[in-house]
Structure 1
Amino acid sequence: MLMHFQFKPLFENKNIPGWNFSFYHKKQRVTGVYHQTGKIEWTTNVPEREEIEALSSQIHELMLFHVYE
């Protein structure tokens, strides 16, 4: 489960798509980059391989809700 999910534009020009995101998972802060294509680049505390698919799905849902309303 994602706790304290946050995101912000990757670029100062907010018309350029791309977002930095962060959240807590298993008491560790996880960060990454969410690209316009939906690709996720994990930058710190990469989740375990078997968790990546479920977490990616949750991130996609949150980004669709918050960014592409």
Structure 2
Amino acid sequence: MLTHFQYSSLYENKQLPGWKFSFYFAKQKYAGYYHQDGSIEWTSEKPEARDEEELKGRIHELMLYHVYDNQR
């Protein structure tokens, strides 16, 4: 389970796209950048290959909800 998900803008001008995020999964903290095109750049240790695709999907869903859906 992904817990303690946090995100913030990468830039002082919050109108520019790009966000940093962090969360815990399996007692390990992960962090990275979420780019406008939906790509993820890990700034922490990458999750194990068996978990990475599932985590990317969850991050994408959370970012769509928090960033894009809340702007309406």
TM-score range, shorter chain: over 0.9
Larger RCO: 1 or 2 (CA < 8 Å, sep 6+): 1
After TM superposition, give the deviation of residue 45 of structure 1 in Å. 2.3
TM-score after normalising by structure 1: 0.96
Q: Any unmatched runs of 5+ in structure 2?
A: none
Identity %: 58
After TM superposition, give the deviation of residue 28 of structure 1 in Å. 1.2
Size of the aligned set, in residue pairs, is 69
TM-score after normalising by structure 2: 0.92
Higher helix residue share:
2
2:43 aligns to what SS in structure 1?
strand
Question: Deviations 1:12-37 (Å, cap 9, x if unpaired)?
Answer: 11011000000001111100000000
Instruction: List structure 1 segments (4+ residues) > 4 angstroms apart after TM superposition.
Output: none
